[in-house]
Structure 1
Amino acid sequence: MDSIQFQSLNTVAPQKLLPILNKTSTRKHLIQHDVFDESLVRQWVNAKMAEDAKAGCLVRAILKGETLIGWCGIQQSEQGHEIAIVLDDSSWGLGKTVFKQLMIWCHELQHHTVYIHLLHTRPSYRFLDKLAQRTFETNMMGDKFTTYELNVEKVVRRALE
């Protein structure tokens, strides 16, 4: 089995991101946005790289072997830092592995609390319910989210057990 690798998002050709960002199964769980073309992907990548440059933030492409399977990041949100994972539906089973890596990075970046905002179209996740110190509804960008508040140290300690 190929291992998961992370690399800077701006090292990925825009045409490789298009199928993931425009896939119906991906879009139904993200805030509504226009369908991407190469120009919009470049703008989106530039915005993500600006986020990556901020203190405490990190945005990466996710590859399995040589294949791009998604992106992830530690970004700023209204509550504080959030983690985001967007995977191609063929790789959804790898979400927990990516999540663990993000939490390790959060710990290394000395975050105490981080948030996960899942659009209302997503089901509740028992995995996250058990890890969260608090779960609540958030309204952002004109949409409703289930927000999980995570204590970084507790989650990392539990992940390494």
Structure 2
Amino acid sequence: MLTCHPIDSCTIPELLALLNDARVRRYLMLHAPFTASSADDWLQVKQAEDRRPGCLIRAIRNGADLVGWCGIQKQDDSFELAIVLAPSQWSRGRDVLATLKTWGRQQGHTSLVALLPSSRPQRRAIARLFGQPSSETVLQGTVFNRYTIAL
């Protein structure tokens, strides 16, 4: 059973294992592999984001094991949902999305934005979850399809 916990419950070794997994990195922004120092910096940024009004960042665990993170974070003039799961949990993305949508409504949001790399295949499952992309955006040199999800 997947459970959500404050992001500061993560250890640096757990984050390194998740964020440096080659299959996970395929769907993240282009950047060098994480080091202990950069993972600590990333964690501090996510902790600060978690304290912002309208935002919520959580670690996802399966029992004691860190298997992902998710959240609602500020992105320009909107709020973006983020889901990063270990490959063993990819089939659970729909459950995590449902949780994020509930949190979004509780935070008073009427919509959330999802950004998926344009290199990601546009499968029917993505269309069922998010609809069609509303636009493209470039972040740190990576092109993303932008989806607007009504809550």
TM-score (norm 2): 0.92
Listed as ranges, the matches of 1:42-61 within 5 Å are 42-61=40-59
Does structure 2 retain, via aligned residues, the 8 Å contact 1:120–1:145? yes
TM-score (norm 1): 0.87
Pick from 32, 35, 38 the counterpart of residue 37 of structure 1.
Answer: 35
SS at match of 2:45: helix
Q: Which residue of 2 aligns with 1:157?
A: none
Q: Which residue of 2 aligns with 1:143?
A: 142
Listed as ranges, the matches of 1:62-81 within 5 Å are 62-81=60-79
Change (3 A) 1:75 1:133: same
SS at match of 1:31: coil
Does structure 1 retain, via aligned residues, the 8 Å contact 2:30–2:141? no
The percentage of counterpart residues that share the same residue type is 33
Q: Which residue of 2 aligns with 1:156?
A: none
Does structure 1 retain, via aligned residues, the 8 Å contact 2:71–2:83? yes
Match of 1:141, as an amino acid? Q
Greater than 3 Å deviation, 4+ residue runs:
130-134
SS at match of 1:16: helix
RMSD: 1.5
Alignment coverage as a number of residue pairs: 150
The runs of 5 or more residues in structure 1 that have no matched partner are 153-161
Match of 1:21, as an amino acid? L
